């Protein structure tokens, strides 16, 4: 196949941005793009969300050029999610064209904004196909915990479970990030402690839950930790820009480590 020949395209680093609906994926995409550009790197953006109407950035490559969600809904008499499923499959079949567009732009960093319906992207085979087949020297994933959603320790564990499940599916090194830190005030301190200290989190769960909820949550948590979850979260605000430097540092450690291994 054509893209086989250009696999491991030299120098290209691809960053997939995933997370729950409304967690800040598109806004972070625009901020990372600005960050890299300001610091003299050549970044480009690929939008993989066929259903989005407006975006806070200009796309270099846009799957909406290949699929029209409104047309699919009308033509095949589908609801929004059925149409998104079909659109995702169509997009996977256009991988050669998408790859050619990326090659033409030829950036150092390709930032990939993924669809709001994360389960469509992460759990259907077309999403993983795209992740596996976009030719790139290094790939990594950022998973966004919506700061406004993590109001309780049990919520925190649920989203950590989702993050781990998506890491399993996409099979990429993953950086966990908490967004909207500008909205959550003092709660951030608790969240950051929970993300690195199992005992603190278990104590917090014990205060909130009992019986089945307590034992299920703590058992999931222990499993997640055995699977390497407790790396901590990087706190960022897409609005104030706080924490973006740390996120870029974490990205660089993963993406540059790859280079060293390759040499
Ligand atoms: N205060 C605050 N608002 C944010 C932050 N990040 C995103 N938002 C807001 O949250 C809303 C959703 O942001 P998006 O970037 O569209 O989120 P998304 O994950 O791309 O959303 P979908 O693609 O629809 O799932 C927008 O109103 C953003 O302005 C943040 O760090 N702080
Ligand atoms: Mg979005």
CA of 54 to the centre of ligand 2 (A): 9
pTM of the model: 0.92
- CA 262 to chain CA centroid, Å, is 25
For the CA of 179, the nearest atom of ligand 1: 31
Taking CB atoms and a 6 Å cutoff, what residues make up the pocket around ligand 1?
19, 21-27, 49, 116, 179-180, 182-183, 237-239
8 CA from centroid of ligand 1 (Å): 32
CA–centroid distance, residue 19 to ligand 2 (Å) = 9
Q: What is the pLDDT of residue 229?
A: 76
Read off the CATH number of the domain in which 212 is found.
Answer: 3.40.50.300
Position 3 scores a pLDDT of 41
Residue 252's CB is within 10 A of a number of other CB atoms, namely 11
Ligand nearest to the CA of 179: 1
Q: Helix, strand or coil for residue 210? A: coil
Buried/exposed code over 116-129 (b: 16+ C-beta within 10 A; e: otherwise) = bbbebbbebebbbb
Candidate from 17, 26, 166 with most ligand 1 atoms within 8 A of CB, to mutate: 26
Q: Could you report the per-residue pLDDT of 148-192, keeping only the tens digit for each?
A: 999 899 999 999 999 999 999 999 999 999 999 999 999 999 999
Q: Encode pLDDT of 93-140 as tens digits.
A: 999 999 999 999 999 999 999 998 888 888 888 889 999 999 999 999
| Radius of gyration of the CA atoms of the chain, in A | 19
Compute the distance from residue 146 Cα to the ligand 1 centre, in Å: 9
What tokens does 22 get? 């409304």
192, 235 in Cβ contact below 8 A?
A: yes
Helices (H), 6-124: 25-38, 69-75, 80-93, 95-105, 118-123
Look at residue 231 in the predicted model and tell me its pLDDT.
Answer: 73
- pLDDT value at position 1? 40
3 CA to middle of ligand 1, Å? Answer: 33
Q: Ligand 1, atom 32: nearest CA belongs to which residue?
A: 180
Ligand 1: which of 27, 179, 239 to mutate, most ligand atoms within 8 Å of CB?
27
- Flag whether pLDDT at 6 surpasses 60: no
pLDDT the model gives residue 187: 92
Atom number of ligand 1 nearest to Cα 238: 31
- Please report which ligand is nearest the Cα atom of 20: 1
What is the count of structural domains for the chain? 1
pLDDT of amino acid 118: 87
Per-residue pLDDT, 214: 92
For residues 140 and 261, the model is more confident at: 140
Q: Which residue has the tokens 């280079």?
A: 259
Q: What is the Å distance from ligand 2's center to 47 Cα?
A: 9
Per the structure, the complete domain to which residue 194 belongs is given by 2-262
Query: What is the per-residue pLDDT across 45-88, written as a single tens digit (0 to 9) for each?
Result: 999 999 899 999 999 999 999 999 999 999 999 999 899 999 99
pLDDT at res. 54: 93
pLDDT for position 18: 96
- The answer, yes or no, to whether residue 225 has pLDDT greater than 90, is no
Which residue has the least CA distance to atom 23 on ligand 1?
A: 116
**How does residue 8 score in pLDDT terms, banded at 50, 70 and 90?**
low
Name the band, by pLDDT with cuts 50, 70 and 90, for residue 262.
very low
């Amino acid at each position: 196949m054509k893209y086989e020949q250009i696999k491991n395209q030299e120098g290209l680093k691809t960053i997939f941005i995933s997370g729950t609906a409304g967690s800040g994926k598109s806004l972070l995409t625009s901020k990372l793009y600005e960050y890299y550009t300001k610091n003299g790197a050549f970044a480009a953006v690929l939008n993989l969300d066929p259903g989005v109407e407006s975006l806070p950035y200009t796309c270099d490559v846009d799957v909406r050029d290949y699929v029209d969600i409104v047309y699919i809904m009308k033509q095949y008499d589908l609801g929004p999610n059925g149409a998104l499923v079909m659109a995702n499959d169509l997009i996977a079949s256009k991988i050669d064209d998408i790859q050619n567009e990326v090659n033409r732009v030829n950036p150092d960093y390709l930032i990939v904004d993924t669809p709001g319906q994360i389960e469509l992207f992460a759990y259907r085979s077309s999403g993983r196909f795209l992740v596996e087949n976009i030719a790139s020297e290094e790939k990594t994933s950022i998973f966004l915990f919506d700061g406004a959603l993590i109001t309780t320790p049990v919520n925190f564990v649920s989203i950590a479970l989702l993050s781990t499940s998506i890491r399993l599916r996409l099979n990429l090194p993953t950086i966990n990030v908490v967004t909207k830190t500008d909205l959550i005030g003092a709660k951030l301190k608790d969240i950051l402690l929970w993300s690195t200290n199992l005992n603190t989190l278990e104590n917090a769960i014990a205060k909130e839950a009992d019986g089945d909820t307590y034992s299920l949550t703590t058992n999931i948590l222990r499993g997640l930790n055995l699977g390497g979850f407790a790396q901590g979260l990087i706190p960022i605000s897409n609005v104030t820009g706080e924490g973006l430097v740390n996120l870029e540092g974490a990205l660089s450690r993963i993406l540059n480590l790859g280079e060293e291994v390759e040499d």
